[in-house]
Structure 1
Amino acid sequence: MSSAEIRNRFLAHFEARGHTVVPSASLLLDDPNLLFVNAGMVPFKPYFLGQETPPYQRATSVQKCVRTLDIEEVGKTTRHGTFFQMNGNFSFGDYFKEGAVEFAWELITGAQESGGFGFDPERIWVTVLPEDAEARDAWKRIAGLPDERIQPRGLKDNYWNMGVPGPGGPCSEIYIDRGPQFGPDGGPEADEDRFLEIWNLVFMQEELSAVRAKDDFDIAGPLPSKNIDTGMGLERVAYLLQGKNNMYEIDTVFPVIERAQELTGKRYGAGTAEAAIDDVRFRVVADHVRSSLMLIGDGVTPGNEGRGYVLRRLLRRAVRNMRLLGYQDPSLPELLPISRDKMGESYPELVSGWDRIAQVAFAEEEAFRKTLAAGTQIFDLAAGEVKQAKASTIPGEKAFALHDTYGFPIDLTLEMAAEAGLSVDETGFRQLMAEQRERAKADARSKKGQHADTGVYRGILDANGPTEWLAYETLETESRALAVLREGAAVGALGAGEVGEVVLDRTPFYAESGGQAADAGVIEFDGGVLEVLDVQRPVRGLVVHQVRVLEGELGGAGTTLHAKVDPEWRTGARQAHSGTHIVHAALREVLGPTALQSGSYNRPGYLRLDFGWLNALSPEQVKDVELVANNALRADLPVSWDYMTLSQAKDWGALALFGETYDDSKVRVVEIGGPWSRELCGGTHVEHSSQVGTVVVTGESSVGSGNRRIEALTGVEGFAYLARERDVVHQLSTLLKTKPDDMVARVAEMVERLRQSEKEMEKIRLAQLLSGGAALAEGAKDVAGVRLVAQRVDGATGGDVRTLATDVRARLVGDAPAVVVLIGAADGKAAVVAALNDAAQARGLKAGDLVRAAAPLLGGKGGGKADLAQGGGTDVTRIDDALAAVTAAVAQG
Structure 2
Amino acid sequence: METAEIRRRWLTFFEKKGHTVVPSAPLIHDDPNLLFVNAGMVPFKPYFLGQETPQWQRATSVQKCVRTGDIEEVGKTSRHGTFFQMNGNFSFGDYFKKDAIRFAWELLTTSQDEGGYGLDPDRLWATVYEDDDEAERLWAEYTAIPLERIVRRGKKDNYWHMGVAGPGGPCSEIFYDRGPEYGQEGGPAVDEDRYMEIWNLVFMQYELSEVRSKEDFDVSGPLPAQNVDTGMGLERIASVLQGVDNLYEIDEVYPVLAKAAEMTGKNYGAQSGHSAGESHPDDVRLRVVADHVRSSLMLIGDGVTPGNEGRGYVLRRMLRRAVRSMRLLGFDEPALPHLLPVSMDRMKQSYPELETGFDRISKIAYAEEEAFRRTLAAGTTILDTAVVRTREQGSGVLSGDQAFQLHDTYGFPIDLTLEMAEEQGLAVDREGFTRLMQEQRDRAKADAKAKKSGHANTEVWKDLRAAGETDFRAWQELTSEAKVIGLVVDGEQVQEIEPGQRGQVILDRTPFYAESGGQIADEGIITADGVHLKVVDVQRPVKGLIAHTVEVVHGPLRAGVPVLAEVDPEWRLSACQAHSGTHVIHAALRQVLGPSALQSGSYNKPGYLRLDFAWGQALSPETRSEIEEVANLAVRKDLPVSASWMSLAEAREAGALALFGETYGEAVRVVEIGGPWSRELCGGTHVGHSSQVGALTVTGESSVGSGVRRLEAFVGMDALRYLARERAIVAELSGIVGGQAGELTERVSAMVTRLKDAERELERVRKEAVLAAAGSLSDNAKDVNGIRFVGHDAGPGTGADDVRAMVLDARQKLGDGAPSVVAVTGAAKGRPVVVIATNQAARDKGIKAGELVRIAAQTLGGGGGGKDDIAQGGGQDASKSGEAINAVEWRVGELGG
Which of the five TM-score ranges fits, normalised by the shorter chain?
Answer: 0.5 to 0.7
The 5 A counterparts of 1:142-291 are 153-156=113-116, 260-261=264-265
Q: 1:503 to 1:407 in 2, by over 3 A?
A: farther
Secondary structure of 1:792's counterpart equals strand
**Mapping for residues 275-314 of structure 1, pairs under 5 Å:** 303=306
Residue by residue, what CA displacement relative to the aligned partner does 1:128-177 show, whole Å, maximum 9, x if unpaired? xxxxxxxxxxxxxxxxxxxxxxx99222379xxxxxxxxxxxxxxxxxxx
Counterpart amino acid of residue 598 in structure 1: S
**Counterpart position of 2:463:** 459
What corresponds to 2:475 in structure 1? 472
Deviations 1:28-58 (A, max 9, x none): xxx99899xxxxxxxxxxxxxxxxxxxxxxx
| 3-state DSSP of counterpart to 2:610 | strand
Q: Is the 8 A contact 2:793 2:881 kept in 1?
A: yes
Equivalence for 1:782: 783
**Corresponding residue number in structure 2 for 1:869:** 871
| AA of the residue aligned to 1:456 | V
Q: 1:374 to 1:459 in 2, by over 3 A?
A: farther
- Residue 621 of structure 2 is matched in structure 1 by 619
CA apart distance, 1:567: 1.0
Q: Distance in 2 between matches of 1:878 and 1:374?
A: 30
Paired with 2:731 and 2:695, the residues of 1 have a C-alpha distance of 22
| Correspondence 1:591-606 to 2 at 5 A | 591-606=593-608
User: Residues 607 and 713 of structure 1 are in contact (CA less than 8 Å); yes or no, is this contact kept in structure 2?
Assistant: yes
Change (3 A) 1:323 1:790: same
Over 3 Å counting, the alpha-carbon distance change for 1:484 and 1:320 in structure 2 is closer
Q: Which residue of 1 aligns with 2:801?
A: 799
Query: Quick check: 1:806–1:835 contact (8 Å CA) kept in 2?
Result: yes
- Could you tell me how far 1:734 is from its partner in structure 2? 2.2
Deviations 1:778-829 (A, max 9, x none): 3322111222112323203322322222233334357333221112244442
User: Any idea what SS the aligned residue of 2:591 has?
Assistant: helix
Question: Bigger radius of gyration, 1 or 2?
Answer: 1
Which residue of structure 2 aligns with residue 202 of structure 1? none
Q: Does the CA-based 8 Å contact 2:614-2:708 persist in structure 1?
A: yes
Q: Secondary structure at the match of 2:595?
A: coil
Letter in 2 for 1:622: R
| 2:481 matches 1:521 | no
1:807-886 residue pairs with structure 2 within 5 A? Answer: 807-812=809-814, 815-886=817-888
The CA distance in 2 between the partners of 1:310 and 1:492, in whole Å, is: 44
What amino acid is the match of 1:155? G
Structure 1 pair 815–76 and aligned structure 2 pair: CA distance change class (3 A): closer
1:69, 1:337 → 2: CA distance? 23
SS in 2 for 1:471: coil
Letter in 2 for 1:639: V
- For 1:291 and 1:456, the matched residues in 2 are separated by 41
Q: Which residue of 2 aligns with 1:581?
A: 583
Cα separation, 1, equivalents of 2:747 and 2:492: 65
The answer as to 2:660 corresponding to 1:658 is: yes
User: Equivalent residue for 1:567?
Assistant: 569
One-letter code aligned to 1:520:
E
After superposition, residues 17-28 of structure 1 pair within 5 angstroms as: none
Alignment-mate amino acid for residue 739 of structure 1: Q
Gaps of 5+ in 1: 1-30, 36-66, 83-150, 159-211, 214-235, 237-244, 376-399, 413-428, 446-451
- Cα distance in 1 between the residues matched to 2:828 and 2:310: 52
**How far apart, CA to CA, are the structure 1 residues paired with 2:298 and 2:508?**
50
CA distance in 1, matches of 2:560, 2:335: 74
Cα distance in structure 2, aligned partners of 1:824 and 1:562: 72
| SS of the residue 2:747 aligns to | helix
Aligned residues: 617
Question: In the alignment, what sits opposite 2:680?
Answer: 679
Does the residue aligned with 2:542 lie in a helix, a strand or coil?
coil
Partners of 1:277 and 1:706 lie apart in 2 by 35
Q: Does 1:887 align with 2:889?
A: yes
Counterpart of 1:92?
none
- Aligned mates of 1:75, 1:591 — CA distance in 2: 43
In the other structure, the counterpart of 1:422 is none
Match of 2:738 in 1: 737
2:690 match: 689
Deviation at 1:738, TM superposition (A): 1.8
The question of whether the paired residues in 2 share the 8 Å contact of 1:595 and 1:611 is answered with: yes
Deviation at 1:439, TM superposition (A): 5.1
Contact 1:289–1:339 (8 Å) recurs in 2: no
1:310–1:456 distance in 2 versus 1, CA, 3 Å: closer
Shift of 1:873: 1.0
For CA contacts below 8 A with separation 6 or more, give which structure has more relative contact order.
2
Q: C-alpha offsets along residues 638-666 of structure 1, whole Å, 9 cap, x if unaligned?
A: 211111233333333322233322222x3
- Structure 2 CA distance, aligned partners of 1:340 and 1:891? 69
Name the residue aligned to 1:541. 544
The answer to whether the Cα contact below 8 Å between 2:860 and 2:877 also exists between their aligned partners in 1 is: yes
Deviation string, structure 1 residues 181-206 (Cα, Å, up to 9, x no partner): xxxxxxxxxxxxxxxxxxxxxxxxxx
Flag the 1:734–1:517 CA change in 2: closer, same or farther, 3 A.
same
1:484 positional shift: 4.0
Judging changes above 3 Å, is the alpha-carbon distance between structure 1 residues 504 and 69 closer, same or farther for their aligned structure 2 residues? Answer: closer
Please list the CA deviations of residues 539-587 of structure 1 after superposition, one character each: whole Å capped at 9, or x if unmatched. 322222222234x333312333222211111110101011111222222
> What is the DSSP-based 3-state SS (H/G/I as helix, E as strand, rest coil) of the residue aligned with 1:543?
strand
Instruction: Say if 1:851 and 1:619 are closer, same or farther in 2 by CA, change over 3 A.
Output: same
The answer on whether the counterparts of 2:778 and 2:810 sit within 8 Å (CA) in structure 1 is yes
Q: Name the structure 2 match of 1:186.
A: none
Contact 1:510 1:519 in 2 (8 A): yes
Q: Structure 1 stretch 489-498 or stretch 696-705: which is displaced more?
A: 489-498
Post-superposition shift, 1:685? 0.6
Gaps of 5+ in 2: 1-22, 28-63, 84-110, 119-228, 231-241, 243-248, 345-354, 384-403, 417-439
Bigger shift: residues 331-340 or 737-746 = 331-340
Length-normalised TM-score, structure 1: 0.58
Q: How far has the Cα of 1:602 moved from its partner?
A: 0.7
Deviation, 1:613, is 3.0
CA distance, structure 2, for counterparts of residue 539 and residue 356 of structure 1: 33
- CA apart distance, 1:721: 0.9
The secondary structure found in structure 2 opposite 1:579 is helix
2:87 is matched with which residue? Answer: none
Cross-structure match for 2:505: 502
Distance 1:669 1:335, change over 3 A: closer
Instruction: Pick closer, same or farther for the CA change 1:529–1:441 going to 2, 3 Å.
Output: farther
Task: Give the 3 Å change call, closer, same or farther, for CA 313–744 of structure 1 in structure 2.
Answer: same
Say if 1:735 and 1:651 are closer, same or farther in 2 by CA, change over 3 A: same
1:554 aligns with 2:556: yes
The letter for the 2-side match of 1:769 is V
Q: Structure 1 residues 677, 156: closer, same or farther in 2, change over 3 A?
A: farther
CA offsets 1:597-644 (integer angstroms, 9 cap, x no match): 222211111011222333333333322322222222223222111112
State the partner residue of 1:7: none
| Amino acid across the alignment from 1:725 | E
Q: TM-score when scaled to structure 2?
A: 0.58
Tell me if structure 1 keeps the 8 A contact 2:289–2:326: no
The residue number in structure 1 matching 2:760 is: 759
Partners of 1:490 and 1:152 lie apart in 2 by 56
Say if 1:301 and 1:613, in contact at 8 Å, map to a contact too: no
**TM-aligned CA distance change 1:536 to 1:659, over 3 Å:** closer
